[in-house]
Structure 1
Amino acid sequence: MAYGSDSAFTAWLAINGQTLPAGAPDAAILRQRGSQYVDNTYGSRFWGVPTLGIAQERAWPRTGAKAYGQIIPDDVIPVAIEQASYAAAYQEAIKPGSLTVSATAIGAVKRKKIGPIEKEFFEGSGDVVADGTLKLSAVEGLLAPYLKPETTLASLGLWAVG
């Protein structure tokens, strides 16, 4: 099941001054793709765990989730999660296939020189899928309060033997 509803997606499009392009898949299909993008890209970074564990199709609702210093009830899917899936769904409508990544590190080029023309490419993180995954600022902004930080802090421990 996708986040939200077709009618809420249609209302979100209207409020944001967007319309689906001619020939776009129907709202239910776009919402499913947008929901998969949100879960696949950010699911491991959400606070808490799916309320029904591995039996649950989507990442939300969650147990132990929090945002803005408040615990989110176990049966709630925040509006921002739904809206993030709508933003991703709209991206999929205007550019089909943009939410999915196929990547390989084979043949990656660091520097290429042909005659007098030379190109050097920025190095990625080493994770070709992560480097190739589309990041949408609207989605990132909506989900930020619900995500654990990407970086882990190193800890320093003092041991005393005595």
Structure 2
Amino acid sequence: MFYGTLAGALAYHEDRGNVAWSAGTVTDPQREAALLRASEALDGIYGPRFPGKKATRTQERAWPRVGAVDHCADEPIPEGDTPAEIETAAYALALAELQSPGSSTPTLTLGKSVKRQKVGNIEREFFSPAVPITLESLRPVLTAVEDALRCILTPDTSKGGTFTLDRF
């Protein structure tokens, strides 16, 4: 199960001139697979920041939810609804998934990155990160997805939250 519909994804990409989505060489099963991967990635990446809680513990996707709020409108999102913003984000991410399957959830091996390598008499030097590397810091960011979800996501306080700048 994925967010949105094939028809909705087609309309979204046609409106934006994304011809790769409707290319004759792409099949509906490929589009559905891209939508599924995009939906799974949305839940995995953004799920902890979705407001409210899942409507039922056993549901496959993170939406629909109970107690969710649209932060921009300061209005509740009706229980049982999957907001249009979630579908829009899935459509945007699905194009990236169609063009490069797995791009939204890359397999990463956290280890030492080579800074310098010499072949004769074998010499290697590794970077030492000044800031700890986390899985979240290595995930790709698609601004179209971030923009679509901005009113739905709860603020990420681990990134400093928000503040007001007063002028004197």
Structure 1's 96 and 123: CA in aligned 2 closer, same or farther, altered over 3 A?
Answer: farther
RMSD: 2.6
Partner SS state of residue 157, structure 2? coil
Contact 2:112–2:127 (Cα < 8 Å) also in 1: no
- Give a deviation string over 1:114-148, Cα, whole Å, max 9, x none: 7xxx9978645431x21221110000011111111
Residue identity opposite 2:9 in structure 1: F
Q: Does 2:62 match 1:59?
A: yes
User: In structure 2, do the counterparts of structure 1 residues 23 and 121 end up closer, same or farther at CA, with 3 Å as the change threshold?
Assistant: farther
Matched, 1:146 2:152: yes
Could you tell me which residue of structure 2 aligns to residue 50 of structure 1? 54
Among candidates 25, 32, 35, match of residue 31 of structure 1 = 35
Change (3 A) 1:148 1:17: same
Once the 2 structures are TM-superposed, how far is the Cα of residue 27 of structure 1 from its aligned partner?
2.0
Spell out, residue by residue over 1:87-133, the C-alpha distance to the aligned partner (whole angstroms, 9 max, x if none).
00001112222112222332235x5487xxx9978645431x21221
Aligned to 2:101: 96
Q: Which residue of 1 aligns with 2:133?
A: 126
Structure 2, unmatched stretches of 5+, are 119-124, 162-168
Q: Confirm or deny: 8 A CA contact 1:92 1:98 kept in the other structure.
A: yes
Amino acid at match of 2:17: G
Checking the alignment, whether the CA contact within 8 Å between 1:101 and 1:132 is kept in structure 2 is: no
Instruction: Tell me the TM-score normalised to structure 2 length.
Output: 0.77
Paired with 1:51 and 1:119, the residues of 2 have a C-alpha distance of: 47
TM (normalized to structure 1)?
0.80
Give yes or no for contact 1:3–1:31 (8 Å, CA) kept in 2: yes
**Secondary structure class of the residue paired with 1:35:** helix
Q: Secondary structure at the match of 2:112?
A: coil
| Number of residues of Structure 1 aligned to a counterpart in Structure 2 | 149
State percent identity of aligned pairs: 32
Equivalent residue number for residue 16 of structure 2: 16
